[in-house]
Amino acid sequence: MHTQLVNKNNSKLHKQLIREQIIRERKAFDEYQYQQANNKIYKNTLEVINNRCPKFFGNTKALGSNKHYIGLYWPLKGEPDLLRIAIVANSYIGLPKILETQQMIFAKYHLGDSVSQSLIPNLYQPTATFEVFPDIIIIPSLALSISGYRLGFGQGYYDRYLSIIKASNAVITVGVCFHQWLMEYIPYEIFDHKLDYVITDQYVIKT
């Protein structure tokens, strides 16, 4: 786990330096280590969905059996790949879709559905535009803090989405990243949303 010495008066600059460092490290990630760690994150994420979210899933072990939606994501290179949850969860999946208005929604997705290039380079999203409202959202992160704050690419799509959706819906938010990018502290601002769970290949943290 990284320990960061932070100048809290210059958090934007500090976050950008962390981003640049992690992106360099992700490019050098060994494929075997990636697969091993990815499998552990997958298992930890299923454990949280099945056992730690009784508000939405009760005692059931069958994902989607109560017709709740899980928000997943199309992984970029170097991110945890959790799309196989869509197999276990039957068809109750939503993936982020960025509209031409720069608004992000979650669009209904069945594994194998057509996808198209997003407005973000190298990122794909459902071609369909049927909007769904996930009860639990799995959020990819460059880094996570043990207190539940997330470092993304700095474009703010998830934070803007959560600001809107949390005003009218109860939603559980789960950040995922590889353990080497779990940090004691990440600078955050008033519009940054604290996540309910932090998951790495080594830890599951309820914040």
108 assigned to some structural domain: yes
Q: How far apart are CA 203 and CA 189, in angstroms?
A: 25
Name the residue type at position 168: S
CATH code, 187: 3.40.50.10420
121 assigned to some structural domain: yes
154 assigned to some structural domain: yes
Q: How far apart are CA 89 and CA 161, in angstroms?
A: 23
Q: Which domain holds residue 127?
A: 8-58+66-206
For residue 138 the two structure tokens come to 């799995």
Domain count, the chain: 1
3 assigned to some structural domain: no
Over residues 57-90, the pLDDT tens digits come to 544 444 444 567 899 999 998 899 999 988 876 5
Residue 85's H or E segment, with its range, is: helix 85-88
CA end-to-end span of the chain: 17
**Vertex 107, ends 79 and 85: CA angle to 5°?**
45
1 assigned to some structural domain: no
User: Closest Cα to residue 55, out of 41, 47, 46, 66?
Assistant: 66
Over residues 13-60, the pLDDT tens digits come to 678 888 888 988 888 888 999 999 999 999 999 999 887 665 555 444
Task: Region of 122 please: left (phi>0), alpha (psi -120 to 50) or beta.
Answer: left
2 assigned to some structural domain: no
pTM for the structure as a whole: 0.86
